[in-house]
């Protein structure tokens, strides 16, 4: 068995004295693991860092075997990402979410989204929006996607302000007014085609929204805890937003 594909490194772990188990998200073969002989060498270690885009050749005697990877660098992103706590935790968070999907199941849309996000993940002002949208994509791939296109009560596409915790569907401000304290806030930037940017409060609302449905549909049924990286990512974002606010305050 043999195939060649493009992938993004999610992580590695040691195997023996000189080799490594490489975990990648590939364009057409999903999340995939394989052995890299000499993966801990000075030549290979820089290539196998999380966030790097690599050209992969996978070989195995049988399809169900772990197999052997040969990996060559296409785009070295790791050094740039490692300079930002937001980027490091953001990548770790997305990798943890991808591990919720069955290994080797193709998810081409998620691969493309991950590639785009890695290009901008070191921009802390953008990273929160990107990872929040990625979480909604993961929920959709897992079969628990939210319907944010129109109001569940009226069918209106205007002034959508809430999400029903029961149905996962959007609700307009007027229709949800009587139950606003029981609804989840819907940040405007998450609505398709809004073109809006998110401030710190909107980012918090977005992660509260996705976190609620991850807990209900994914973590609790599987007996899992949310990934530590997600908490680290949110903490890093809050530090960034606080620093920006302090600078703006001094300038004012």
- Tens of pLDDT along 185-229? 999 999 876 677 889 999 999 999 999 999 999 999 999 999 999
Q: pLDDT, tens digit, for every residue of 14-43?
A: 999 999 999 999 999 999 999 999 999 999
pLDDT confidence of residue 64: 86
Question: Which domains, from first to last, does the chain contain?
Answer: 2-79 (2.40.50.140), 83-148+186-251 (no CATH)
Structure tokens at 96: 């943890």
- CB under 8 Å to 181, separation ≥6 — which residues? none
The secondary structure of residue 214, as a DSSP letter, is H
Q: How many CB atoms lie within 10 A of CB 183?
A: 20
Q: Tokens 């302000």 correspond to what residue?
A: 161
Q: Are 52 and 76 in contact (CB under 8 A)?
A: yes
* Measured torsion, CA atoms of residues 64, 113, 82, 227, in degrees rounded to the nearest 10: -70
The two three-digit tokens of residue 122, written as one number: 């070191």
Q: What is the pLDDT of residue 177?
A: 94
The pLDDT, as a whole number, for residue 246 is 85
Do 174 and 180 meet the contact criterion of CB atoms below 8 Å apart? no
Q: Residue 250 — pLDDT band, cuts 50, 70, 90?
A: low
Per-residue model confidence (pLDDT) at position 251: 62
């Amino acid at each position: 068995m043999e195939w060649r594909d493009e992938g993004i490194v999610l992580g590695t772990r040691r195997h023996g004295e000189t080799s490594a188990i490489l975990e990648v998200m590939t364009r057409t073969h999903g999340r995939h693991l394989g052995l890299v002989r000499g993966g801990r060498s000075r030549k290979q270690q820089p290539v196998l860092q999380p966030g790097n885009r690599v050209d992969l050749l996978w070989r195995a005697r049988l399809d169900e075997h772990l197999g052997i990877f040969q990996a060559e660098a296409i785009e070295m992103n790791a050094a740039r990402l490692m300079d930002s706590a937001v980027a490091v935790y953001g990548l770790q968070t997305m990798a943890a979410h991808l591990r919720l999907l069955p290994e080797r199941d193709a998810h081409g849309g998620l691969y493309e989204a991950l590639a785009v996000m890695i290009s901008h993940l070191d921009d802390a002002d953008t990273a929160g929006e990107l990872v929040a949208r990625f979480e909604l994509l993961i929920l959709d791939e897992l079969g628990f996607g939210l319907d944010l296109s129109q109001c569940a009560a009226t069918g209106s596409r205007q002034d959508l302000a809430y999400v029903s915790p029961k149905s996962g569907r959007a609700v307009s401000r007027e229709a949800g007014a009587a139950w606003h304290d029981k609804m989840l806030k819907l940040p405007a930037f998450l609505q398709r085609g809004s073109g809006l940017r998110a401030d710190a409060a909107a980012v918090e609302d977005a992660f509260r929204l996705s976190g609620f449905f991850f807990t209900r549909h994914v973590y609790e049924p599987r007996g899992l805890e949310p990934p530590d990286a997600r908490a680290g990512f949110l903490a890093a974002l809050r530090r960034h937003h606080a620093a920006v606010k302090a600078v703006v305050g001094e300038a004012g």
